Structure 1
Amino acid sequence: MTAAAGTTTFAAPPAERRSARPNWMLWTALALLAVFVAFAVHVAIDPEHPFTQPLDDAWRRLVGSGPGGLENSVPSLFFQNLGELAGAVLMIVVIPVALFIVGRWRSALFFLANDAIASIAIAQIAKNLVNRPRPAADEPNGLFGPLFTVDHGSFPSGHAVTVGALVIGVAALIPAGRRLGWWIISAVLVAGIVWQRTLINAHWLSDTLFGVLAGILASILVWWAFYPLLQRDYGRRLFNRK
């Protein structure tokens, strides 16, 4: 309680203020979800001719590779594996287990929920509902199909969804004011996954961009839901499980 100029006001306890869920997170996630759903519906109506197709085609001509290009280079293989088994093990096993071991069980649950919502509830459902064809081979014009084995549906890029969720998921574990280094790494990860998925002709450019957006929006939504729990983990002594 504070008094000034004859008035009395009540201030919320510091712990209570720290635990309040920021409204901007919820509204940002919902706005991004609306954008994602709108584009997904647009693509589903005419999967071969969305309004982004001219840009997608131009990007493919510029970046898409043929066999024997950069698809087996170290950077390409790094991003290829980040969205497959290695990335799944990292997000479902390594990071949550490490967090649990050091006493951050709340953060571990957040990370598991983050991956589940992004990779399953958004990426796989959208893939099967939208059913966009992947880039097809047109060798007389110097264009090739996917250079690695791919599953069903081009929209959105599951690899890009994984990276988007990883970017925000890790940021949520870092207290505010200490995230600059991670944001720089995140920019490299996002640029790299967009480059690699289009280099190997696994996705159109718009698949990757909206994939990153899907991962980000899912992660922000889960962050908002877990916000009070994550706040309790910031600054907590390691191996303290309370």
Structure 2
Amino acid sequence: MERATTRPDASPSRLIAVTIAGVALIGLGVLLGWVILMRGEEPFAIDVWWNDLLVEWWVPAIGGFSRVMNWLGGGWFGVLAVPILGAIALVLLRRPWSAAYFLAAEIVSVAIVQVLKHLFGRVRPEEILVLSDVGSYPSGHVANAATIAAVAVVLFPRLWVVVVGAGWVVMMAFSRTYLHAHWVSDTIGGALVGAGAALVVAAAFWSQISRERADAAQRRIPVE
């Protein structure tokens, strides 16, 4: 018996929806940054409240966890090692276009974040506990986490991937504010930009990664 066929999900309507969603998320991130810029150096009330709360609520174990997240989400490991290792894993899974998509999404995400950081030039909280680059908005660590999570959902559309990805983004956002490296609004902006970049780039690779998803599913279907 022949294997059951699995058709790639590359319909124009799905492609348009992904593109619009990605552009909208990036647009919201830029809009939030513009509002922050117009307010000058004054953070939002929720930014001040959360930052002050964490100043009082310091637990060494959570601080250690946050420093681990700081290393995982940025620097050479988060920016270079994770994308390269992820791309290698996808190639080994016989999904080279997905690997190219992952690398492209990471590059675009980092580029947008750096442009916005220099454009808005927001000052970080005074209580910051780690060394960080210029510009508080948006959070590069959270943007990177959101990009990885969104790429994972695009490539492996499963509920558990969505849950794990969302948890990863939330943990990264919490750790950045726990170390006072960012305001809460910085992490929201990072999540918007990171996820948006992943979706916009996905649109450019949509037919190829849809075909690879279908091929991967085909290989899992047993011969009757």
Q: What TM-score, normalized to structure 2? A: 0.85
Question: Is 1:100 equivalent to 2:81 in the alignment?
Answer: no
Q: Distance in 2 between matches of 1:20 and 1:180?
A: 21
Contact 1:91-1:115 within 8 A present in 2 as well: no
Alpha-carbon distance in structure 1 between the residues aligned to 2:97 and 2:176: 33
Q: 1:138-157 counterparts in 2 under 5 A?
A: 145-157=127-139
Determine the structure 2 residue equivalent to 1:180.
159
The range that moved more, 56-65 or 217-226, is 56-65
Identical pairs, percent: 27
- Quick one: distance in 2 between partners of 1:227 and 1:26? 10
CA RMSD of aligned residues (A): 2.3
Letter in 2 for 1:151: D
Q: Give the TM-score normalised by structure 1.
A: 0.79
Match of residue 43 from structure 1: 36
How far has the Cα of 1:67 moved from its partner? 8.1
Instruction: Tell me: CA distance 1:221–1:64, structure 2 relative to 1, closer, same or farther (3 Å).
Output: farther
| Pairing partner for 2:116 from 118, 126, 151 | 126
User: Residue 63 of structure 2 contacts residue 178 of structure 2 at CA under 8 Å; is this kept in 1?
Assistant: no
Q: 1:91 to 1:47 in 2, by over 3 A?
A: farther
Amino acid paired to 2:122: R
Which residue of the other structure, out of 73, 80, 85, is the alignment partner of 1:83? 73
Shift of 1:83: 1.5
How far, CA to CA, are the matches of 2:216 and 2:41 in structure 1?
Answer: 54
Greater RCO structure (CA 8 Å; 6+ sep): 2
Report what 1:9 is aligned to.
none
Residue 152 of structure 2 contacts residue 165 of structure 2 at CA under 8 Å; is this kept in 1?
no
Q: How does 1:1-242 map to 2 (within 5 A)?
A: 18-21=9-12, 22=14, 23-49=16-42, 53-64=44-55, 69-70=60-61, 72-73=63-64, 75-84=65-74, 85-120=76-111, 122-136=112-126, 145-174=127-156, 176=157, 179-236=158-215
Tell me how far 1:71 sits from its aligned partner: 5.8
- Residues of 1 paired with 2:29 and 2:60: CA distance? 32
Could you give the per-residue CA deviations for residues 190-218 of structure 1, whole angstroms, max 9, x where no partner exists?
A: 22111110001100000011111110111
Return the letter of the residue paired with 2:39.
D
Could you tell me how far apart the structure 2 residues matched to 1:126 and 1:94 are? 27
Q: Evaluate the alpha carbon distance shift between residue 78 and residue 182 of structure 1 in structure 2; reply closer, same or farther with a 3 A threshold.
A: farther
99 and 72 in structure 1: CA distance in 2 versus 1, 3 angstrom threshold = same
Aligned partner of 1:142 in structure 2 is none
Q: Which amino acid aligns with 2:22?
A: A
Equivalent residue letter for 2:25: L
